């Protein structure tokens, strides 16, 4: 079963959710802004994306621009920053059994449903 890390107030996230609904595949919606993210979840997402923490940051967020831009952090520091500020996470992230994608555009979900 797929998981979608979803923010209902985000247009791109809603597009990803609609894409999944139209594909008629089983998936779980994780409203990560409400429930938060654990370190284990975040590590799993990064492993399946094959990305580093700084690569999944939304650089257009005000918090990033005001507090983080231009500063250097190691991976563990980025993990802590993301967990404390989940709004920084790019979305939607769709996680499958072995891989994950940042579904921008939503058609990237096809890589997980084949």
Taking the C-alpha atoms of residue 48 and residue 42, their distance in angstroms, rounded to an integer, is 10
Please give the residue range of the domain that contains residue 101: 2-113
Task: Please state the pTM of the whole predicted model.
Answer: 0.92
Number of domains the chain is built from = 1
Catalytic residue among 2, 4, 9, 10: 10
CATH, residue 67: 3.40.30.10
Q: What is the dihedral of CA 82, 38, 28, 30, to 10 degrees?
A: -50
Model confidence pLDDT, tens digit, residues 62-94: 999 999 999 999 999 999 999 999 999 999 999
At residue 45, the pLDDT reads: 98
To the nearest whole percent, how much of the chain has pLDDT over 70?
99
- Give the number of other CB atoms < 10 A from CB of residue 18: 11
Compute the average pLDDT of residues 37-60.
97
Q: Is 10 annotated as catalytic?
A: yes
């Amino acid at each position: 079963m797929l998981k979608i890390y979803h923010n209902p107030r985000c247009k791109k996230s809603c597009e990803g959710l609609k894409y999944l609904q139209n594909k008629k595949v089983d998936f779980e919606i994780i409203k990560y802004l409400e429930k938060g993210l654990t370190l284990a979840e975040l590590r799993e997402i990064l492993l399946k994306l094959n990305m580093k923490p700084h690569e999944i940051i939304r650089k257009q967020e005000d918090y990033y621009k005001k507090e983080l831009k231009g500063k250097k952090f190691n991976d563990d520091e980025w993990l802590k920053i993301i967990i404390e500020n989940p709004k920084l996470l790019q979305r939607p992230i769709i996680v499958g059994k072995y891989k994950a994608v940042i579904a921008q555009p939503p058609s990237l979900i096809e890589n997980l449903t084949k």
